[in-house]
Structure 1
Amino acid sequence: MWKINLLNFIDHSCILIVNDVELTLSELIPKYPLHSTRIIKNEEKDEFQITQANLAIKEAYIASNDIKYIFLCGATFRKEAQNSLLKVLEEPPRNVVFIIITNSKTSMLPTIYSRLPYKYLKKSLLKNESLLNINKLDLKDIYNFLKENQKISKNEAKDIVESILLKVNNQKIKLSHKELDFFSKSIKLLELNSRPINVLTTLLLFLANQKNKH
């Protein structure tokens, strides 16, 4: 499991781009005073929706003599929710600090991340090779890996494709021209804006199938 290299304490409104929202939250929260910290997230889905946005706005306007830290958490943020937050993020009430935790900068509207500084804390997925043991790749490995990376961006998916090829080389797995060509096609599909999760699914299933043939 990767470690988060966070500042000990964040005292200003910002956006944190991370691999794992819940893990980041669990590491950050102990650094803040319990009585002045609020966590707002969707308990049923990974998406931050208009209901959560309304709760955040309501909480922000509850007066406090101490600095209030409001954590807005979601793997993705619905556009309507972001639009409703614009005003309060741009002109927050006195003593209110917003900390947005999400998986991808691309899920945030330009009008949001232009108003708040952001910290890119995602660790390179290239280091996550232990989940990609090609010699022992099975459907369970594929399922777990895809579940963990279902929200990734196009560039992150390209990094993963390259990391898989690197893993193949490190494990001294000989690939045919057809198999090597499959990696090139995967990169091309991503550049043509195919859904990253679909490209990775096809690639991993292809590798698992080829492994079983050898």
Structure 2
Amino acid sequence: MFKTTKRIAAWVTIVLVVLAAIPLVLTPIYAIRGVHPVSTLMLWDEVTVRPVLRDWVSIDDVAPVLLHSVIMSEDGQFCRHRGVDWGEMLAVVDQALDGEETRGASTITMQTVKNLFLWNDRSFVRKAMELPLAIYFDFVLSKRRILEIYVNIAEWDTGVYGIEAASQHYFGKPASQLTAREAALITVSLPAPDARNPANPSRTMRRLAQRVERLAKASGAYVGCLDAG
């Protein structure tokens, strides 16, 4: 019995080590511009033979206003933090300790590593795994490359991955030609891609998009890191 338990523990340890090594090995590979990473959700769709629509596009071929909209809506401090926005994180912890409803504190980098290496839920286990991965990811990759990967693996509708596929899906045009309003609408669909349709926005979506459009227009230094290669 003891030997069996010891053998199981050894195998569990090996599996955990392998799983931990995957992001450590893949992250430097993902720093290479010619590599097009896929998310765990995309892999699951492929395994379960669900339709997948995805066209990788260089960040140079995405309308800057879309990139600015995403940063200002999803992670205003993206260019200033090192993968984790500790100020936002501590604020969420304080809210949780006070028994208040917490808001999301995931940075774009955290969302990227979650999509690449982890799974979807709101468990503390997954969040704890996100933090070191995001710090490592930010250390190895440039901000511009992180954002390029993020907009290419985000799910914008059921089975629709990446901004190029989403732009064609909703507006029938390439991501390079998105207008400020279209960019804002497609950005505010991110938190609930199954329920929000940028091509047929609700009143709430239009209101949120107006705010994002204003933020993107005034983004200035908040998006300065995109000028670096």
TM-score, normalising length from structure 1? 0.24
Larger RCO, structure (CA 8 Å, separation 6 or more): 2
Q: Which has the higher strand share?
A: 1
Q: Which has the higher helix share?
A: 2
